[in-house]
Each structure stands twice: as C-alpha cells, then as structure tokens.
Chains A and B, each alone.
Chain A
C-alpha cells in the first residue's frame, strides 16, 4: 500500500512538472494584442453627403506598448488623403483617425491598417475596410 501511495505521489509530482513546466515554457514572451479594430463610415444627418470616415484601434495586454491606426480615404472611387494616429500609453492604448468627405459625396471608402506594438517594438497588423454608398 505504501509503495502504491509513493508511486502515485511521484507520478503526480512528475505530471505536475511536465504540464506546469510545459505551460511556462510555451507561454509567449509578451502578452499583447488587439481588443478591437474596425473601419467606420457614416453620413452626417445634419449635413447629408458629408460622410464621416474613420479607423479605430484599441490594444490590450500587460505588455502592450501602443497602437497605430493608418487610414486611406477614398471619395467617388479615388484617393483623397491618408491619416495616421498613434498612442504609446501602454495597456489599453487606442488611436482613431477621422475625415469628413464634405457635402455632396455619393460614394466613399476607407481602408485602415491597425498595428499593435509590444515592448520590444515588434508588432502585429490587421486591416479593415468600409464602404459607404448614398
């Protein structure tokens, strides 16, 4: 009986070391990423055809250094301008771009590159796009 208990004890300890050790070593160096990211387009009710185009990025994780949002704005199928916003305030950092197309717009598009940076300055990217039609 004592031998079985000893075996069970050692087996449990060994399993714990393997699983626990594996989990520790498999853990990424940094915990960081996106909480939310999107492109946005909406007509202004007060000014029909003045379309608000935007890109939004919010990061998450204790090892987040910051985020950046870069949007390219297109009106009636062609490029108008681009904007970049950055926030390096660490965990929970967010950055939003914005552009108003001006009244009379019939069609507009926004393409956004979202980046989340970690403490060693490496980053991951995502992109989103949004289309607005009258």
Chain B
C-alpha cells in the first residue's frame, strides 16, 4: 500500500515545486512608485475614479496593475499602464485575432512616437468593456505639464485600430 503511494507523493511534490515557479513567472510587477504617482495624477486629470486611489497625499500603497474604473459620466473602463499593455494585447488576441492585437500595438506607436518627449510620464490606457474603444493619456514635463490625450477605436470589419482623436 505504502509502495503505491510513493509515486503519487513524488508527483504531488513535483507539482508543488513546478507550479510555484510557473506562478512566480506569471507574476506581474507593478510600476515604480514615481510612475504609480504619475498614473494616479493622469487618471485624476481625466476625471477617472479608481476604486482605491491610494496615491492621494503621497501614500505609497500600490495601484492595481489592471483595474475597472469609472469616468465622470459613469462609463466603466479597464485601466492598465502602457508598460503593461501586453495584458490587453493577450485579451485582444483571445477575443479577436493576432492581427487585432498587433494593430493595437501599432496604434499606440502611431500616437506616441511622433510626439514623445523627455520628461513625459508613462501613458495610461483605458479600454471599454467590449475592447472596441480606447484612450491613451499622459502628462508632460515630469507631471507638471499638460495632459496629452488621444482616442482610438477598433474597426471590426478591417480588424484594425484607428485613431479617432489625435493626441493634443
């Protein structure tokens, strides 16, 4: 009886060790404290409310990497930082296609690359629930400058994202 249990125990031990390392690999590291502060400031300027706006008053609690937030009109958006946009890209690939996910990356480059400047903060990304509308926003001059905002939407027929409001 004991002999029969040995392979099972070995199997469970291997699963425990391997499983832990797999989970550790998948763990998403939150942004630096400075970037979290700027993300919070950007969202505030957009009129978006976080469930836990922990950076008000300089608190060092962490923002969620991915969160559902509400704008001033009560619309729900999924918030993620530009650094973690791969979390949305994975959802787009699963829901639509690899082409849509690649186009989502392209539209962000199209918005950001011509205008990015030294001192700009890491952009905030907001996506609606259906993953068909998006916003990209950030602050200039180390958070002291103006808010830059661009909007984009998914053209489902052509499976590509298009800019609907140029960054300004």
Residues of A participating in the B interface, judged by any CB pair closer than 8 Å: 70, 72, 74, 76-82, 107-109, 111, 113, 123-133
Contacts and interface: CB of A to CB of B under 8 A. Distances in A.
Given A78-B38, A125-B102, 7 more contacts: A77-B142, A78-B142, A79-B119, A82-B113, A107-B34, A113-B105, A127-B85
Contacts of B37: 77
A78 B118 contact: yes
Main secondary structure of the interface of A (DSSP, over half): strand
A81 B119 CA distance: 10
Given A78-B142, A111-B83, A123 B34 contact: no
A133 B33 CA distance: 9
Contact of B31 (A79, A80, A109, A113): A109
A107 B35 contact: yes
Contacts of B82: 111
**Size range of the chain B interface in the assembly:** 20 to 34
A113 B109 CA distance: 9
B68 to A, nearest CB: 21
B97 to A, nearest CB: 11
B121 A77 contact: yes
A81 B116 CA distance: 9
A124 B38 contact: no
Contacts of B32: 76-77, 107-109, 131-133
Contact of A109 (B83, B116, B143): B83
A70 B106 CA distance: 12
Top 3 closest pairs, chain A to chain B, by CB: A77-B34, A107-B32, A129-B83
Contacts of B118: 78-81
Interface in B10-47: 29-35, 37-38
B33 A79 contact: no
